[in-house]
Amino acid sequence: MNRRTRLLPAATALACATALLATSCSSSGSDDDHDSADDSPSTPPAATAPATPGAPGTSPATPGTPGATTAPPTTGTTPGSTAPPPAGARWQPTPGLAWQWQLGGAVDQSVDVPVYDIDGFENDASVVAALHAKGRKVICYINAGSWENFRPDANAFAKALQGSDTGWKGEKWFDIRKLDQLKPLMATRFDMCKSKGFDAIEPDTIEAYNQNSGFPLTPDDQLAYNRMLAGLAHERGLAIGLKNDLDQIPALLPDFDFAVNEECSQFDECDRVSPFIKAGKAVFHVEYKLDTDQFCAKTKSLGFSSMRKQLDLNAWRKPC
């Protein structure tokens, strides 16, 4: 699906969507990606030289070595679930790993990076297996915080769970206080990721408490929900990333294996994500509006895995 996952007010999202419709997109499958007037939602500067994946001060990341495998403590169990995996079974992404994030269109498997983040519903096990055959680790993108009317399991979510529109067409916030109802539904989605062979999960829209969700959600509601998600992933031997939710990083750092961040440079927030790096956990970061010469020096010094992406998260990328 083509979408930007950082939360926007409805009016802003509509403006972004209109801009995207007016912009033709092209993509390339290597770190030799070049900008043109058609490559980005805003007109970028001239192309930069190809970049080498990896954080400064480290060897370039190679597809065959996409991070360590560890088993941090399990954060919860689901009634009726299988026993937690043995020690050493869960992938732990380490700082500096280059990555590709593609949620729109057929996955371009030629991008030479050790980590891919792709849509869990729209890609079957054969895509994951093909990436594994090339030495990649693969993250399963799942919207865990809001209902989407186009997903195959949309009818499983009761109307009472659906709140205000998120600003994206056909999408409504979940009432994350209803853990007893949402937990088995999320468990089923995570089971899908596991059955397809994914290594990790990227749960989207998991900061509803500071949005106009239609429900009186509190920070504690969000902490409980996000920890529930982490527990479900870990029970299945899957790593899980904390998507944005900067205010709760100090509390949730022990529960999550890596971070996914959008536009921390644009909003001067990157230092707030750095606790993940200090804990030996990867930060997968993108900017949409800034060009690489405006953020790469800073984010590479922090140890982030950074790149510029188009708003619709197609195959195009411009890595640091």
CA distances for 103 relative to 22, 36, 37, 61, 139, angstroms: 20, 21, 22, 22, 11
pLDDT score at 9: 36
**CATH number assigned to the domain comprising residue 179:** 3.20.20.70
pLDDT digits (tens, 9 = 90+) for 62-87: 333 456 554 433 333 443 344 444 54
Instruction: Identify whether 5 is part of a domain.
Output: no
Q: Is 2 part of any domain?
A: no
Give me the pLDDT at residue 89, please.
81
Q: Note whether residue 3 is domain-resident.
A: no
Residues 117-176 have pLDDT tens digits of 999 999 999 999 999 999 999 999 999 999 999 999 999 999 999 999 999 899 999 999
pLDDT value, residue 68? 55
Domain membership flag for residue 236: yes
Q: Is residue 16 domain-resident?
A: yes
In a domain, 313, yes or no: yes
Query: What's the whole-number mean pLDDT along residues 4-14?
Result: 39
Domain containing 145 equals 10-319
**Does residue 245 surpass a pLDDT of 50?**
yes
The pLDDT value recorded for residue 183 is 98
- Per-residue pLDDT of 203-214, as tens digits, reads 999 999 999 999
Structural domains in the chain (count): 1
Residue 196 located in a structural domain: yes
Whether residue 309 is contained in a domain is answered as yes
